[in-house]
Structure 1
């Protein structure tokens, strides 16, 4: 019903939406296309695309839309559009529709209409990307055939074809990285607002409760997709960070058994695990290895019909290097022999994605096609190997599939290879937390005021700002001296942090430019650390809420050091955990005490004017207003200063 109502509304608003949409598309158009009038650009398939989109919404028939999308992509390819310039056509249509919907309807109703068209927007984006890739490859194949006559020409054109393939692959990688970054920040905001709505006493709360539940379900699904996209971008760039420690594979599978139990019961699937209890501990990253086997079990559940079985077995293989061999076998529909290697490619799926649901456990439910890609990347980062075996694909006989994982008992060879690849010495960027990753100073001040008031004490804003960078005990001793006993200092500190956590959790948003900068730094092989005077419980809360805990090579908090800033200990410990020497580290701080600590540690320092004016941060090597002004190139240049 919502789809048909939206289609009717789009017909009535066609002229207005077309004008705004085409203007947005023109801005992203290359060369002379940007100079075309709205009417001329609209005649290049955009008006037909709009009409086909509305028709598909109204009838559910995608055939006309599919044909127009193919024609549009071919036309754009002839005029040297890149993938982003093609995809922006669908993205800007969605954005324009949303902007006009919220002008006429309440936000919740507008969101319901947009959700009704979500599947269609996804279809358009994926169809355009696939057509772009297919047409590009078709062009390259055709080109290669014409080059067989002359050796010299063939060599030149093969080189051109290679560059084209690299451009397409880079376009895909760039799209993954940019999409993950662009989606992550607004998703954090949406999550925060939905959480606030869920806790507020609203007059019509019972009516909107199902809507909030639906939003939360969608948020969790999108979070999962974004995490997968980020993991794939790290695997592509070979900067996936592993925290190596002894890992018990039986414990991982017992945890997964509990996690998948509802799905197994609902689908009447039998999961048996044997041969793991006698396996030795494996050196690996427990969270990443759990991710591997979660993806393999999820895959087995999805492609095994109701009433089937899944078995997990393990064995120790001894040789020059000892390996653990894990097999996940199912009685599912199987995999065609010619697809056994391709299933590990990004976004690859054996069947038409429109025949699948997006559930992680429904029969033939399909996600974005990244689970096996991520599993392969993680296993290979540990120095292991993963592959699939199957007699073939048959939904009637269900020949089944088996996935094999070889993990070395010691992951050192692969770890050493990674260290070689990142070209030591290691470079690291060490972020302060408050005022750099998040601006929570107002909530710290409110928490201090409330906690101190309970003890009949006060703190002015000037006093608060004079203590930036200090730990709680140092703050209380500095301001109140011997008035407070050690027990009172500890009690006030605990109370302040409890109040702070309650205040800040509802208002967490990353500083502008943070997420983009972290991703770009990791792509340039910088290691990322956080060093903060904040208690570990608060730091972990903030990093977890911002989905940053897995991005870090190190986290150092007040519990890890004897002295607070301006003592350099906290930054030296962060550098040590990153395996980086101080001269190859950059600290990003917002307080004079933090800048002094960085310089005392022998590191470069960048100051943000989040909480202090620039003139108070003069010891820093560079002072900027916000993180959006920083790039990896600027940081690399800063490291080189003084090394000449």
Structure 2
């Protein structure tokens, strides 16, 4: 606000005149603001506050105080005129007309012209400053409104996209099954021995079907995760067996890419944990596939674990190109692909191979559904130095004998199995056992106690998961 015209001597006189006629000024201003009595009562308080503050600022000759008053005035609820909220400049105009009407009816005894000029200066400077403050407030309000609208639109777009993805994934399964059926028929009608060229074409069809089916299943899993519908079939899981399966299935790719896959099996607990073996295997495979994809040929990948406060921290580290700090969280977002897509290979398992950006999202959803957490760490992104990255899967270590979270039938069977183990151990440690004759060699061999298995959800992992995660006990 301009400092021009604020002379101390005339300010004292102006403040005294305003104080003398304050009640009449308030009444006139309130009456001009609205012709409705309820609205006048509502406006009386803010109008009185403004005149009191204006008189104090003029009396103390403090222009800055008047600026503070105007800023606060803008931040307050706007005074309605005839029920409609308006800008404060028109309200200030009402005050100015009330002041001029009172000045004409009751002019000061000395220097009325100078007095009028001084009053006009104060009101003019207030109007100038108020217009700037109100414009800034209006822009800020519009910015917030546009931001809220953009967020609402983005949320609606995401919801629509998620619905489309979910519907499309389920609808694509039917025609894909038809294609797969005809492909199998072609394979039987055109055996490789008699039609090698046709057999090669059928193999190409089968390869495309397999890749498309994997994408559809990933889309369905993402939809289940986002809708919190991912069901877990909890049972005892031997993590070492899952690692064996994951390493075996990645073996051909590792060999082709001349990678070194070092699975530190002994760092994993020999005892089982509670979890869904098929889903946990899927999560491990997704992270391992990501490590393979972004590690150059001849690189190294290591898998290890450590126990931390009733949790198992599974870490998959690689000597790959690394991850930029700003992308460490983004890589767990749906359809997120880091880097220039034009520079990515079309092969799924080749270095920087293409993908839909769903693997890490699924791994994150599976780990969190188990009550765990997942994150990535990397010194940075560099395709020449290859600083590498590390993915951590933190899973809770639950007591298998408690049957926590498992289906009632499985929990009961596990409890019976645990009791059988305790009885067997007590018999082996009894004094009678120590003094009795040694049994025959065939009787000394231990027969492993069976562990109940809940049928797996998908056929393509059923056999391997059953062998790796649910048969027998884990040996150290």
Relative to structure 1, the CA distance from residue 152 to residue 287 in structure 2 (aligned partners, 3 Å threshold; closer, same or farther) is: same
Matching of residue 191 in structure 1 with residue 199 in structure 2: no
Matching of residue 297 in structure 1 with residue 297 in structure 2: no
In the alignment, the residues of structure 2 paired with residue 289 and residue 339 of structure 1 have an alpha-carbon distance, to the nearest angstrom, of: 24
Deviations 1:122-170 (A, max 9, x none): xxxxxxxxxxxxxxxxxxxxxxxx9963565455444322320111111
How far apart are 1:384 and its partner, in Å? Answer: 0.4
Relative to structure 1, the CA distance from residue 202 to residue 270 in structure 2 (aligned partners, 3 Å threshold; closer, same or farther) is: closer
1:308 to 296, 299, 314: 299
2:156 to 161, 167, 192: 167
1:176 to 165, 173, 190: 165
In the alignment, the residues of structure 1 paired with residue 351 and residue 371 of structure 2 have an alpha-carbon distance, to the nearest angstrom, of: 33
Relative to structure 1, the CA distance from residue 147 to residue 401 in structure 2 (aligned partners, 3 Å threshold; closer, same or farther) is: farther
Deviations 1:443-462 (A, max 9, x none): xxxxxxxxxxxxxxxxxxxx
Counterpart for residue 382 of structure 1: 370
Counterpart for residue 554 of structure 1: none
Counterpart for residue 254 of structure 2: 264
SS for the counterpart of 1:387 is strand
In the alignment, the residues of structure 2 paired with residue 410 and residue 310 of structure 1 have an alpha-carbon distance, to the nearest angstrom, of: 28
How far apart are 1:306 and its partner, in Å? Answer: 1.1
SS for the counterpart of 1:306 is coil
In the alignment, the residues of structure 2 paired with residue 196 and residue 411 of structure 1 have an alpha-carbon distance, to the nearest angstrom, of: 49
Deviations 1:243-293 (A, max 9, x none): 011111111111111111111111111111224343542211101000111
In the alignment, the residues of structure 2 paired with residue 548 and residue 237 of structure 1 have an alpha-carbon distance, to the nearest angstrom, of: 24
How far apart are 1:240 and its partner, in Å? Answer: 0.5
Name structure 1 gaps, 5 residues minimum.
Answer: 1-145, 417-539, 550-644
TM-score, structure 2 as length reference: 0.54
In the alignment, the residues of structure 2 paired with residue 255 and residue 202 of structure 1 have an alpha-carbon distance, to the nearest angstrom, of: 31
2:211 to 212, 218, 221: 221
How far apart are 1:172 and its partner, in Å? Answer: 1.8
Deviations 1:3-54 (A, max 9, x none): xxxxxxxxxxxxxxxxxxxxxxxxxxxxxxxxxxxxxxxxxxxxxxxxxxxx
Relative to structure 1, the CA distance from residue 198 to residue 342 in structure 2 (aligned partners, 3 Å threshold; closer, same or farther) is: same
Matching of residue 323 in structure 1 with residue 311 in structure 2: yes
Relative to structure 1, the CA distance from residue 273 to residue 150 in structure 2 (aligned partners, 3 Å threshold; closer, same or farther) is: same
Counterpart for residue 472 of structure 2: none
More contact order relative to length (CA 8 Å, sep ≥ 6): 2
Deviations 1:550-580 (A, max 9, x none): xxxxxxxxxxxxxxxxxxxxxxxxxxxxxxx
| Contact map agreement 1:242 1:284 (CA 8 A) in 2 | yes
In the alignment, the residues of structure 1 paired with residue 232 and residue 294 of structure 2 have an alpha-carbon distance, to the nearest angstrom, of: 30
In the alignment, the residues of structure 1 paired with residue 271 and residue 349 of structure 2 have an alpha-carbon distance, to the nearest angstrom, of: 31
Q: Which runs of 4+ in 1 moved over 6 A?
A: none
How far apart are 1:387 and its partner, in Å? Answer: 0.3
Counterpart for residue 329 of structure 2: 341
2:320 to 322, 332, 337: 332
| Contact map agreement 1:387 1:404 (CA 8 A) in 2 | yes
| Contact map agreement 2:190 2:199 (CA 8 A) in 1 | no
Counterpart for residue 253 of structure 1: 243
Matching of residue 205 in structure 1 with residue 208 in structure 2: no
| Contact map agreement 1:279 1:314 (CA 8 A) in 2 | no
In the alignment, the residues of structure 1 paired with residue 137 and residue 250 of structure 2 have an alpha-carbon distance, to the nearest angstrom, of: 55
TM-score, structure 1 as length reference: 0.40
Counterpart for residue 32 of structure 2: none
In the alignment, the residues of structure 1 paired with residue 317 and residue 157 of structure 2 have an alpha-carbon distance, to the nearest angstrom, of: 35
| Contact map agreement 2:239 2:272 (CA 8 A) in 1 | yes
Deviations 1:411-462 (A, max 9, x none): 99xx98xxxxxxxxxxxxxxxxxxxxxxxxxxxxxxxxxxxxxxxxxxxxxx
Deviations 1:197-252 (A, max 9, x none): 11125898333111111000000000000000000011111100110111111111
In the alignment, the residues of structure 2 paired with residue 281 and residue 306 of structure 1 have an alpha-carbon distance, to the nearest angstrom, of: 34
How far apart are 1:400 and its partner, in Å? Answer: 0.3
2:220 to 230, 233, 237: 230
1:276 to 267, 282, 288: 267
Relative to structure 1, the CA distance from residue 267 to residue 340 in structure 2 (aligned partners, 3 Å threshold; closer, same or farther) is: same
Relative to structure 1, the CA distance from residue 548 to residue 299 in structure 2 (aligned partners, 3 Å threshold; closer, same or farther) is: closer
In the alignment, the residues of structure 1 paired with residue 241 and residue 267 of structure 2 have an alpha-carbon distance, to the nearest angstrom, of: 9
Name structure 2 gaps, 5 residues minimum.
Answer: 1-134, 406-454, 463-476
| Contact map agreement 2:278 2:461 (CA 8 A) in 1 | no
Matching of residue 403 in structure 1 with residue 391 in structure 2: yes
In the alignment, the residues of structure 2 paired with residue 397 and residue 328 of structure 1 have an alpha-carbon distance, to the nearest angstrom, of: 19
Number of corresponding residues: 274
Counterpart for residue 285 of structure 1: 276
SS for the counterpart of 1:311 is strand
How far apart are 1:313 and its partner, in Å? Answer: 1.0
Relative to structure 1, the CA distance from residue 191 to residue 269 in structure 2 (aligned partners, 3 Å threshold; closer, same or farther) is: same
In the alignment, the residues of structure 2 paired with residue 326 and residue 206 of structure 1 have an alpha-carbon distance, to the nearest angstrom, of: 46
Deviations 1:366-414 (A, max 9, x none): 21110000001111111100000000111110000000110011399xx
Relative to structure 1, the CA distance from residue 305 to residue 161 in structure 2 (aligned partners, 3 Å threshold; closer, same or farther) is: same
Highest Rg: 1 or 2?
2
In the alignment, the residues of structure 1 paired with residue 163 and residue 311 of structure 2 have an alpha-carbon distance, to the nearest angstrom, of: 36
